[in-house]
A and B are shown apart, each in its own frame.
Chain A
Amino acid sequence: MSNVVREDVTLEQTWGELAQTLEAVDIDGALQETAAGAVRATRAGLFRRAFATLAGVAGLATLAEDAAAARGQTKNDIAILRFDLVLEYLQAGLYTEAERLGELTPKTLGWARVVGAHERAHVQAIKNLLGRDTVPSPTFNYGKVTSDEKAFIKTAVGFEDLTAALLKWQAPRLDSRSIVAAVVTLHSVETRHAAWIRHIVGLRPAARAFDQPASQQRMAELIAATHFISSRPRVTGRRRPKYTG
Chain B
Amino acid sequence: MSRRAVAAALTIGLALVIAAAAIRVARDDRAADVGSSGRSLAAAARALPRPEGPAFVVGKPARLRADETRARSAPVVRPAVAKAAPARSAAAVAPLPVETPEGTSNIVLVLGERTRSGTQWVRVRLPVLPNGRTAWVPRAALGGYRFVHTRLLVDRERLRATLFYDGRPIFHAPVGVGRPEWPTPSGRFYIRDKLAGFGDPFYGPVAFGTSARSAVLTDWPAGGFVGIHGTNEPQLIPGQVSHGCIRLRNADILRLGRLMPVGTPLVIR
Contacts and interface: CB of A to CB of B under 8 A. Distances in A.
A, B: real partners:
yes
A5 interface: no
Contacts of A100: 64, 70, 72, 147
Interface residues of B, number: 77
A4 interface: no
A26 B119 CA distance: 9
Contacts of B118: 27
Interface string B81-94: 10100001000000
Interface in B174-213: 178, 182, 193-200, 202-203, 207, 209
B138 interface: yes
B131 interface: no
A34 B55 contact: no
Interface string A50-80: 0000000000000000000000000000000
Contacts of A179: 54-55
Contact of B56 (A101, A125, A177): A125
A233 B195 contact: no
Nearest to B224: A244
A31 interface: yes
B143 to A, nearest CB: 5
Interface stretch (A15-23, A142-150, A158-166, A215-223): A142-150
A177 B77 CA distance: 45
| Interface of chain B, main secondary structure | loop
Given A27-B138, A185-B58, A241-B227, A103 B113 contact: yes
A236 B257 CA distance: 11
A17 B77 CA distance: 27
Interface string A165-188: 000000000001111011001100
Nearest to B118: A27
Given A41-B77, A120-B62, A236 B104 contact: yes
A245 B225 contact: no
A65 B78 CA distance: 41
A121 interface: yes
B127 interface: no
Contact of A141 (B56, B95, B143): B143
B61 to A, nearest CB: 3
Contact of A27 (B72, B139, B195, B217): B139
B198 A144 contact: no
Interface of A: 26-28, 30-31, 33-41, 96-97, 99-101, 103, 113-114, 116-118, 120-122, 124-126, 128-129, 139-144, 147-148, 176-179, 181-182, 185-186, 189, 230-231, 233-245
